[in-house]
Amino acid sequence: MTPAQKSALAFVDDRATDLSRWCKTIFDFGETAWREYESAAWYVKRLRAEGFTVEEGSGGMPTAFAAQWSNGPGPSIGLYAEYDAVPGNCQAATTRREPRGNLSPEAGGHTDPHSGLGMSGLGGLLAAKAAMEKHGITGTLRFTGEPAEKVRGSKPIHAVKGYYDGLDAMLSFHPFYMLPMCNTVRWDTHCGAAYAMIYRFICGEPERWGRSDGAPIAQSHSAVRAPGANDALMMMYLSSKALRDSMLTHSGGWSISETILTAGQATADNLPASLAEIQYIIRVPTIAMAEQVTAVLDRNAAAAAAMSGCRHERHWVSKSRPGLANHAMANVVWESLQAVGAPHWNEKARAVAREIQTNLGLEPMNEPFIPECERLIAPQEAEAILRRDLPPSQLNSTSDDYTDMSWQAPTVRFYIARPALKAPPGYSYPAWVMNALGGIPETIDPMVITASKVLAASALRLLEDKSAREAARREFEDRTGGGIGGTRWVPPLCDYPPPIHFRWPEYVTTARGREWWIPAWPGSS
């Protein structure tokens, strides 16, 4: 490692206590997609205190930001933070199932956890900055705040608005979430495309459903009336379920998920529901597959609206491109990961894990973490395992919106182990266990420290090593047919405004204090 890289690693160790405390802060905010107000404000304040210039609300997204720091002319390296949590996963950083504070269990909570993801990005950023200052390395560091990753939200918008343009490299980290992607780097098979949209049904003229002769409203509450928005949503939901097998063939590991966002908003028992919304997210290897599923959903929405006396609208939440590999970038990060090593969980962390096992009625294990958490796996070896269940023609698998970055700058995607427990034969841990492990400092800090070091070491390698940057740029231009605008380059798909005005779940402040939008009540569980 270079002297600058060694300085960066020492910086991370020196600031480990700060990173731990800050990570717990974001974990406890537990804010969900498009409503991460406290989390974004925290990052903005911290970055300004560390000497960065920060644009708040970047890309027209209130909880996004774009920060920059320069040490003079030179290369530009990008890193980022995510910080959105997931509704229905409110879990305290404890060894038993319990929500944070006085909140409902239905409140937001970190699952991946993005609290640790974002703090790893910040740790790597600050360590790289400190080393640049100490060793006189010129160049620019950019750091974006990326809200709403769980609905693939911000990165397509940042991409189309130019926030990744001009970068020599982008570093993308995620906590390990599925084997073999644990302490390794993605090689060829990057994440695929994702489309997310909201279909809104509006019953704005229910009087047009019944008689057309201008007759007055019938006196009886049982008179014929428009089915309304709830019925439209129900028909959309059921017809799309029924036709799922006909949307795409059973190949490519594609999936579609739906969420009902808004209740019917009926104001009386004899009035039809006036508004209902359903969100779909499609995860597929290719854009063509996403377009095929969207065409079916569009037809279903039109039919449901026609049958129920409604009109319908489609609002985009996300359209993200499939990922683009870059072996040169992958090699840079893999070398840094080998130098730093896999995370290690000490006896304090193991004691936490054993306490969770005991509280679940299990026999505590001497070595409670799965062995893969503390091992490295070479990118090519992980790739070979990943490809076992994929057809040779499939180039992308699963989804994540970092992929939009990969078409704007040479990008690498790597994973560091988050804590995961061994399970007795035939046993599956409840979801709260992983969520809790992502918030307890003893168990999540090893991941944050390791990822921070790998990010810092990789950023500095790219800043100091012109040949590494040039190799990454050549490969980017080869794969895109000439870089941005090249013959094989896929332009941003985002042709919609930030979808910030929907009734996304969020925290509210009432006379009772801070609550989840589904209010807590005494004894709720």
Residues of the chain within CATH 3.40.630.10 domain(s) are 3-189+325-480
Digit-coded pLDDT (tens) for 56-96: 999 999 999 999 999 999 999 999 999 999 999 999 999 99
Separation of alpha carbons 130 and 149, rounded Å: 29
Which residues are bridge partners to 68 per DSSP?
A: 53, 142
What mean pLDDT do residues 38-54 have?
98
Task: Provide the pLDDT for residue 516.
Answer: 87
Q: Which DSSP category does 96 fall into?
A: S
- Among residues 182, 461, 170, 185, the alpha carbon closest in space to that of 334 is found at 185
Which pLDDT value is given to residue 525?
A: 42
Residues in the chain: 525
Q: Highest-confidence range of 97-101, 272-276, 460-464, by mean pLDDT?
A: 460-464
Integer Cα distance of 396 and 261 in angstroms: 29
Q: Tell me what pLDDT residue 485 has.
A: 95
Cis peptide preceding 113, ω within 30 of 0:
yes
H or E element at residue 160: helix 154-160
DSSP letter, residue 206: G
Average pLDDT over residues 385-411: 94
Q: What is the CATH number of domain 194-210+222-321?
A: 3.30.70.360
Q: Tell the residue number behind the tokens 């498009």, with chain if given.
A: 34
Mean pLDDT of 225-241: 89
All CATH 3.30.70.360 domain ranges of the chain, comma separated, are 194-210+222-321
Cis peptide before 519 (omega within 30 of 0): no
CA-nearest of 262, 258, 261 to 239 is 258
Helices 327-340 & 466-480 angle (0-180, nearest 10): 140
Strands across the sheet containing 76-82: 53-56, 65-70, 140-146, 76-82, 169-175, 411-416, 184-185
Beta strands of 333-462 (E only): which ranges? 396-399, 411-416
**Is the predicted pLDDT of residue 190 greater than 50, yes or no?**
yes
3-state class (DSSP) for residue 254: coil
Question: What class, spelled out in words, does domain 3-189+325-480 have in CATH?
Answer: alpha beta
Global pTM reads 0.93
Instruction: Please state, in angstroms and as integers, the Cα–Cα distance from residue 509 to each residue in 91, 154, 286, following that order.
Output: 20, 26, 42
Task: Work out the mean pLDDT of the chain and round it to a whole number.
Answer: 93
